[in-house]
């Protein structure tokens, strides 16, 4: 995407502006990812995730036990 040679200073300036904007977009993306990570590491969120996981596992276990009783 970056030309190997430039014909004018305007081309160089435009390329530098593009690179600067790409850098800003990347930084904002990192900030958003960090913010989302912090939200996901809150105790309430972890508790809710664990609760959902345990409910699914318990439901699977109960379903398996009930199906095994019907198979016998």
Write phi, then psi, for 47 (nearest 5 degrees).
-60, -45
Domain map (residue ranges) of the chain: 9-41, 43-72
What's the pLDDT at 67?
87
What's the pLDDT at 41?
83
State yes or no: pLDDT of 2 exceeds 80. Answer: no
Whole-angstrom Cα distance, residue 22 to residue 13? 14
- Decide if 39 contacts 30 (C-beta within 8 A): no
Q: Specify the higher pLDDT residue, 71 or 28.
A: 28
Predicted model pTM:
0.55
- The per-type count for the chain, helices as H runs and strands as E runs, is 2, 0
For residue range 13-70, list pLDDT tens digits in order: 999 999 999 999 999 999 999 999 888 888 888 888 899 999 999 999 999 989 888 8
What's the pLDDT at 3?
57
Whole-angstrom Cα distance, residue 55 to residue 67? 18
């Amino acid at each position: 995407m970056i030309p190997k040679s430039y014909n004018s200073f305007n081309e160089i300036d435009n390329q530098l502006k593009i690179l600067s904007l790409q850098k800003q977009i990347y930084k904002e993306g990192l900030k958003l990812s960090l913010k989302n990570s912090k939200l996901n590491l809150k105790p309430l969120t972890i508790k809710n995730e664990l609760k959902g996981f345990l409910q699914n596992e318990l439901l699977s276990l109960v379903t398996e036990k009930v199906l095994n009783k019907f198979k016998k």
